[in-house]
């Protein structure tokens, strides 16, 4: 990696100042160090934000829970309260990488992590996302890539937490230009839908401060399918959340990861599910709606039946 300066910020304002135009925030470092070592990003300053006050707390609330951006994935996994109130989030956290990685990985880092596309990550290929003129995956080995894409790059979002937060209708609070900006999960990623180089909507210097999760949906669930049984990326991930009263869904939301550059959600399917009772036919119809328009590539068509199964299973888990 290239040489860099290192600084520890004690306030968000100083963090923003220190990171300036060409720095990077360092929390768990799982993704950043890999990117630096492979020369995929360069940063003249690494600003350690682990000492920023107040960002490593899980704070319950009656309408919203707040999860600080520096909360580790392991903290979520180990929180009995989260497990009770947001089981889908708990399940998503438990599936992240390995125990060692979860111990240091932060919520903010998990959400802002870069593409895992093996062309993007390979030091000897200059793909579209790296400023090249071609998406190798489109014509090549695209087994791990998107079924939906808004631009020529087909690298999907792989954050487990983003999938769960989307279903829970969480909001990211982002420090931007000295102000706190609130972004839905859709907004947090929408730039990746449009722009090949983007993997989220954060501008240089933007810092995720916390996530707010409404308590409106007391049931939630998350499932992922991988090649292996542990310590593996999801091939497809799925989260669902809703309130359930008299066996009927209220304000249901379903989201999928790893099949689109953004957490995939279909409003029509959420609307369809609203007020419905969970049964095989209903969840299957919802899955059809969510996957309508999927465009399988040469090697990722299997994600269609896989996603279909996960949607059905995740929704049925909401029955409790």
Partner 1 sequence: MPSWPTNTKYISQSTPRVDAAAKVTGRARYSSDIQADGWLYGMILRSKWPAAKISGINLDKALQVPGIKAAITVRDGERTVRFCGEELAAVAGTTKQACLDALRAIEVKAQPLPFVVREDDAKKDNAPKVWEGAANASPGKSREQGTVDQAFAECAAVIEGFYTTPVQIHNPMEPHGNTVSWADDGLTAWSSTQGISSVRDGLAGALKLEHSQVRVITDFMGGGFGAKFGAGVEGVLAARLSRKAKAPVRLMLTRFDQALAVGNRPSSFQKIKIGALADGTLHAFEMNNYGTAGIGAGGDSGGGGGGADIPAPYIYKVPNTRVKQTHVAVNAGSARAFRAPGNPPASYGMESAMDDLAVKLGMDPLELRLKNDPNEIRQREYKTGAEKFGWKQKYQKPGSSPGIVKTGIGCAGAAWPAGGASKNTQGEAQINPDGSIEFRLGVQDLGTGTKTVIAVVAAEMLGLKPEQITVKVGDTNFPPGPGSGGSMTCASISPTVFDICTKALQQLQTQTGIADARGENWFAACKKLGVNPLVVHGQWLQGLSSDHACGVQFAEVTVDTETGLVTVKKVVAVHDCGLIVDKLTTESQVNGGIIMGLGYALYEERVMDDLSGVVLNPNFETYKLPGLADVPEIEIVLINMPERGVIGIGEPATVATAGAIANAVANAIGVRVSSLPITPAKVLAALGKVPPSTASKS
> Is the CB of 214 or the CB of 301 nearer to partner 1?
301
Between 37 and 319, name the residue whose CB sits nearer to partner 1.
37
Q: Which is nearer to partner 1, 178 or 293 (CB)?
A: 293
Shortest Cβ 225–partner 1 spacing (Å):
4
Dihedral of alpha carbons 181, 113, 199, 7, sign? positive
Query: Can you say whether residue 291 is alpha, beta or left, with left for phi > 0 and alpha for psi between -120 and 50 degrees?
Result: alpha
Give the shortest CB-37-to-partner 1 separation in angstroms.
9
Both tokens of 287, joined, read 């899955």
In the complex with partner 1, the residue whose CB is nearer, 170 or 290, is 290
Residue closer to partner 1 (CB basis): 159 or 171: 159
In the bound complex, what is the minimum distance in angstroms from residue 116's beta carbon to partner 1?
Answer: 8
Least distance CB 260 / partner 1 (angstroms) = 13
Q: How far is the CB of 309 from partner 1 (least distance, A)?
A: 4
Q: Which residues would be at the binding site for partner 1 (CB under 8 A)?
A: 1, 116, 118-119, 122-125, 134-136, 138-141, 143-144, 152, 225-233, 235, 295-302, 304-306, 308-310, 313
Q: How far is the CB of 136 from partner 1 (least distance, A)?
A: 5
Residue in 78, 36, 98, 170 with CA at minimum distance from that of residue 26: 36
Quick one: 134 or 216, whose CB is closer to partner 1? Answer: 134
CB of residue 147 to partner 1, shortest distance in Å: 8
CB nearer to partner 1: give 123 or 179.
123
């Amino acid at each position: 990696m290239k040489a860099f300066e290192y600084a520890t910020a004690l306030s968000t304002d100083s963090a923003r100042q220190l990171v300036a135009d060409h720095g990077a925030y360092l929390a768990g470092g799982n993704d950043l160090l890999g990117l630096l070592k492979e020369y995929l990003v360069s940063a003249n300053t690494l600003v350690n934000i682990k000492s920023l006050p107040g960002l490593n707390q899980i704070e319950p609330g009656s309408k919203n829970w707040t999860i600080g951006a520096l909360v580790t994935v392991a903290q979520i996994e180990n929180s009995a309260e989260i497990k009770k109130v947001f089981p889908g989030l708990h399940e998503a956290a438990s599936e992240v990488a390995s125990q060692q990685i979860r111990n240091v990985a932060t919520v903010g880092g998990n959400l802002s992590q870069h593409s895992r596309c093996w062309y993007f990550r390979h030091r000897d290929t200059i793909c579209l996302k790296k400023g090249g003129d071609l998406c190798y995956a489109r014509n090549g080995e695209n087994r791990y890539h998107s079924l939906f894409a808004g631009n020529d790059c087909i690298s999907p979002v792989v954050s487990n937490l983003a999938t769960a937060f989307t279903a829970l209708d969480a909001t990211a609070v982002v420090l931007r230009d000295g102000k706190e900006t609130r972004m839905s999960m859709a907004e947090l990623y929408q730039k990746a839908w449009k722009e090949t180089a983007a993997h989220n909507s954060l501008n240089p210097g933007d810092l995720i401060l916390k996530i707010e999760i409404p308590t409106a949906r007391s049931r939630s669930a998350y499932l992922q399918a991988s090649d292996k049984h542990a310590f593996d990326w999801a091939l497809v991930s799925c989260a669902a959340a809703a309130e359930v009263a008299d066996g009927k869904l209220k304000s249901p939301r379903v989201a999928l990861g790893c099949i689109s550059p953004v957490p995939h959600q279909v409003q029509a399917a959420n609307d369809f599910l609203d007020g419905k009772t969970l049964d095989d036919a209903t969840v299957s119809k919802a899955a059809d709606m969510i996957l309508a328009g999927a465009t399988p590539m040469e090697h990722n068509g299997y994600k269609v039946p896989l996603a279909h199964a996960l949607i059905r299973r995740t929704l049925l888990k909401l029955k409790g």
